[in-house]
Chain A
Amino acid sequence: QKEVEQNSGPLSVPEGAIASLNCTYSDRGSQSFFWYRQYSGKSPELIMFIYSNGDKEDGRFTAQLNKASQYVSLLIRDSQPSDSATYLCAVNTGFQKLVFGTGTRLLVSP
């Protein structure tokens, strides 16, 4: 079992819709969780991080964490074509190391 799993997609949504990206992790002791966006050929950029169970909102983005079920999700409201990218879920497994999922490719059509 992979440590961090994501559906590779692509996830296609129309402009203005809500995009929902999901991630599950295997290490129950993981404490912090990150969502990165990566455009093709570019380095990842941090969108959000979350430590506590529940929701965390930042603009159009909402991260949701459920430690009991070992999943973390990212909701993107009012999706824009510029949101089209690969979204990487990352989990801090300790010792400052992040383990990344394979990413979900999001396509937002105008």
Chain B
Amino acid sequence: GAVVSQHPSWVICKSGTSVKIECRSLDFQATTMFWYRQFPKQSLMLMATSNEGSKATYEQGVEKDKFLINHASLTLSTLTVTSAHPEDSSFYICSARELLPTGELFFGEGSRLTVL
């Protein structure tokens, strides 16, 4: 099946710094990717829809200036958490849909961010 790769798998940073997470579709092109956030014992919450070549669409309550999304190519989307704070510590997961043949949504391995 299709593979979506995320990097880094985990990152620890100091409060106030910025962290970039990459999401790559390895064997298919993804015009749309999705970024989710999952806090402990909670479900996945969609943060934004990343559109190749255009601006991301953010869900209500998600600060677009804090969570910068860039989808510069058909295989790469990046999420940058700017000026990270401890409350941003979470499990960030990207996903991408393979249009053909199944339309299945594939998830990356996730990136665990810890902000000290």
Q: Is the CB of A43 within 8 A of B97?
A: no
Residue B104, interface by CB 8 Å:
yes
How far apart are B92's CB and chain A's nearest CB, in angstroms?
10
Q: Are B44 and A100 in contact (CB under 8 A)?
A: yes
Given A42-B110, A43-B93: A100 and B105 interface contact (C-beta under 8 Å): no
- The smallest beta-carbon distance between B27 and chain A, in angstroms, is 16
Q: 8 Å CB contacts to B: which residues of A22-52?
A: 34, 41-46, 49
Is there contact, CB below 8 Å, between A102 and B109? no
Q: Report whether A88 and B43 are in contact in the complex, using a CB–CB cutoff of 8 Å.
A: yes
Would you call A46 and B104 a contact (CB within 8 A)? yes
Residue A1 CB within 8 A of the other chain: no
Q: How far is the CB of A61 from chain B (nearest CB, A)?
A: 16
Interface size class on chain A is 10 to 19
Q: Which residue of B lies closest to A45 (CB)?
A: B107
Identity of the chain A residue whose Cβ is nearest the Cβ of B111 in the assembled complex: A43
Interface centre among B45, B104, B105, B106 (most CB of A within 10 A): B105
Minimum C-beta distance from B103 to chain A (A): 9
Q: Does B34 contact A (CB under 8 A)?
A: yes
Question: Cβ of B32 < 8 Å from any Cβ of A?
Answer: yes
Q: Please, what's the 1-or-0 string for B40-77, where 1 marks a CB less than 8 Å from any CB in chain A?
A: 00111110010000000000000000000000000000
What are 10 A-B pairs with beta-carbon distances under 8 A?
A42-B110, A49-B104, A88-B44, A97-B46, A98-B46, A98-B105, A100-B43, A100-B45, A102-B42, A102-B43
